Structure formats: C-alpha cells, structure tokens
Structure 1
Amino acid sequence: MLFKFDTDLKKVVGKLWRRHLRAKKRTVECISCFDEVTLNNVLRAPCKHNYCPSCLAALVNESIKDESRFPVRCCKKKVPTTRVLKGLDDQSDVKRALLAKMCEYATPQSKRLYCPAKECSSFLGADSSFKSQRVPCPACQKVSCKWCRRPMHEGSLCVEDEATQQLRCAAISEGWQTCPGCRAVVQRLEGCNSIMCRCGVNFCYLCGMKMKNCRHGQCLRVNAS
C-alpha cells in the first residue's frame, strides 16, 4: 500500500509540475516594469522584448512627442505599426493620438499646416489638401492663411511678422543659410556644406539650393573656413 501511495503522490506532483510549467509558458516578463504578463496581453518587439499594455502606452506617448523618436522602437529596431495598434486595443486615447501622429509625420514638414494660435497649434493637414486660402482649425475654430501660415488676413498680402523679418536680416549679416524647403534659418557650426534639414531637404550651405540643383558643382567637397 505504501508503494502505491508513493506512486500516486509522484503522479500528482508530476501533474501539478507540468501544469505549472504550461502556465509559466503563457506569461512573460515586461521589459519595462518587470511584471508577469500573459502572452495574449503583451506586445513582443522584434528584439524579443515584451511590453505590458501600460508600458506600451508609455512607450508610444514618448515616441509621438518627438518626431526623431518615431515610429516606436525598441533596441533601435522599429516595432511594426500593426503590432503596436493591436497592443493598444484597450488604450483608445493613446491609439487615437498615435494614428493622428502617423498622419502628421507622414506629411513632409514643408507641406504641413498647423493652427497659428499658440494655445492650440493643432496639425491641420498638408497645404495641398486645401483648395481655399482660408484654413479653419477644427479644434479652436481659428482660421489661418494657407500661404503664410499665419492668422487669416482678409484683404491684405501675406507678410512675415516682424520677428521673422529681423531673423532673416540677421541671417544675411551673419552668413546663415535658409532651407529651400521649409524656409527655416540654419546656422552651420561645423562639417561640410551639404546640409540635411529637419524637414528632409538636402541643400548646399554655400548657395542655398537643393544639392541636386547646386550651382557650385563641388559644394560637397568644399568646407567653409
């Protein structure tokens, strides 16, 4: 009888241990908060790291604050957007914010329109998507000008504000250059004359033209003193 009891006990212990192993395989550790998360409730990045829903939401929120950190990455590897969206099924607010930023960041910077009201600054869309000069903001109802990107000015020509005009005068006197794409003023501190602007346009610091149209011909090989 004792032998039979020992055999039965071993069977029960073995069964419980196998059940424990199966249960353990269905959970993984979140790389961020170190909590155990069930496999059906986790995002697995290409680098094999796992994120629980709350840590994934935090990762997404950080990426949409800074375009240089977008899209979502882990260990410098891009996480497929479809996988991220699926992981945000229970985070509707974060999901909407991500979808909005995907649309914004997919638009070239030189083509983007933003609400000029400082308290709003909502992304309005690509300038080419608006046929009229008047661009209303759905968030604050303010109307901006498609051409100069400032508040709408009925009956007057588009002009840059005084601060921008002063900046452009300073750029001329200091020898700074203006991006031919987004019109941002650029000061080169070091390196060659081939400038890659944050809007994605590659231009020559000497002549201010896009590199493919550069009239110097050797701008890539010429360094300013």
Structure 2
Amino acid sequence: MDAHMNFITRRCDICLEQVPVAESERPGYEHVHCYHCIQANAARALGSTAFELAKCCKVFPLALLEQAGALTGNGEMVEYTRKLEEHTDPRNKVYCHDQDCSKFIPNDSRTRRVGTCSCGKKTCKSCDQEKLREVEENGRSLRQLADRKGWRCCPNCLTVIEKTVGCNKVECTCGQHFCYRCGEPFYSQFNPHHCPAVNQG
C-alpha cells in the first residue's frame, strides 16, 4: 500500500478510534475493523469455551487474521485452524478415545483407518476406540482369510466384503463404490472404471 495511506484515517466501527486506513479492514464490506480489534476478536474466539469463530457479520478469513497480525503466539494459529476445521468441516469427526484427552484429531493426522492424537494415542476412525495391537493382528488374520476366500476389502474404509451374486460393481456401507474383481474404486461417473470384468457375474 502507498506510504501516504498511513496518513489517511477512518473510524473503526468497533472501538470508535480513528486509525490509519493501512491498519484497518472492512471484512465482507461491512464494518470497519482496526487491526487491534481484529486481533482481539481472534483472541476471544480462540479462548472461548464453546468455540466461536472470529467474525463480525461474516467469518474472518484466515488470510485477514494473518494480515492483521492476529494469533501470533506459540501455536495459536495452528490451534485456531484446527478448531475451525472441527466446527466447520462437514466430514466425519474423530476424537481421541482417551477420555482424559478427547481432543479433536484433524484430517492431516489421520490415515484411512486411524487418527493419531497430539497426545500420541491412536484412535480407530470406524469405532472411535483404541487402536490395539490385538486389533491389528485380528485384522491381519481376517485379511489373510479374505485372500483365501477371494473376498475384497473396501478401498476407502477397508471393511471386508463378500459378494455372492450380481455384477462386480459393489457399494460398501461407507458409500464407496468399487470393482469387486480388481478392488479399484469408482470415483465418479465422469471417471469411469475400465476393468473388463466389471459387468460380469
């Protein structure tokens, strides 16, 4: 922004102070916020017991918070981003199975079947229970049995599926469509699967 903009001021609609235009924004073309008020809004949101988004008439985008110098403390922006994901992401949520922890496990800390909490404990995405070695061993035994029987595992949730009749295009209970013959997923009608056995019984 031009240097002369530092000398042009406008009133912050929140604190009612005259502030430089270069140090204020009008989020969503609504009320003028000075950077100090944006910072205070974000700090309040992060510290709220029942999480509330940093917002006025509209939610403040993360880029605005960064521009205003909000949430610059140790790990604050990461924590806010994860809370934002927890409360706005429509996908299934995973929480640590340990009742003394129970923290939200963000998507970047999950694999297909397991979520790893910041406390170090692993939680099964399907049942929200502890991911135990015994479960892994039982799963390995089941997969070995599935291989012998010719059963297939869903490529999304890894549930074992046995098909007795019908075509090879199957749908898992998780909603994933895949080819029973080769195990490859169907992603959309615009990206068709080309397994030659897909319509054979």
Q: TM-score, normalised by structure 1?
A: 0.43
Q: TM-score, normalised by structure 2?
A: 0.47
Name the structure with the higher helix share. Answer: 1
